[in-house]
Amino acid sequence: MKRFISTALLTVSTAASAGFYTGNDLFERLNDPDRVYLGMGYIAGVSDLGSGDYHCAPESVTLGQVRDMVTQYLRTNPSNRHMSAALLVTYTLMEQWPCPKKKGGNL
């Protein structure tokens, strides 16, 4: 599992730089009723950026569902919260909804 996480994070690191927010920052916002929408907006942006390339969520998924998944990941993996929030959101989505492998591509 640790190897998968490392590989996934290295894979997406080229698309999502260290950024401004860490997992700690995002977790704090998602758990503060006055700032939860800041966290949700961040998740929506990261999700939209990686959609179709890094994860393939079903069209019926809601932002609330994705928020719950990311919050749960951050809650159960506190040792990773120092990492980039963009990487952690992308990893959470990749784990749940990986994209099918493309035929004939080098990627």
**28 assigned to some structural domain:** yes
CATH (domain of 79) = 1.10.890.40
**11 assigned to some structural domain:** no
**92 assigned to some structural domain:** yes
The tens digit of pLDDT for each residue in 25-74 reads: 999 999 999 999 999 999 999 999 999 999 999 999 999 999 999 999 99
**67 assigned to some structural domain:** yes
> How high is the pLDDT of residue 8?
52
Its domain, for residue 60, covers 19-96
* C-alpha distances in Å from residue 32, one per residue of 4, 13, 39, 51, 107: 31, 28, 9, 27, 39
Distance CA(30)–CA(67), nearest Å, equals 8
Global confidence as pTM? 0.78
**60 assigned to some structural domain:** yes
SS3 61: coil
Distance CA(5)–CA(10), nearest Å, equals 8
Contact 64, 43 (CB under 8 A): no
**81 assigned to some structural domain:** yes
**104 assigned to some structural domain:** no
Distance CA(72)–CA(26), nearest Å, equals 12
Please give the tally of structural domains in the chain: 1
**4 assigned to some structural domain:** no
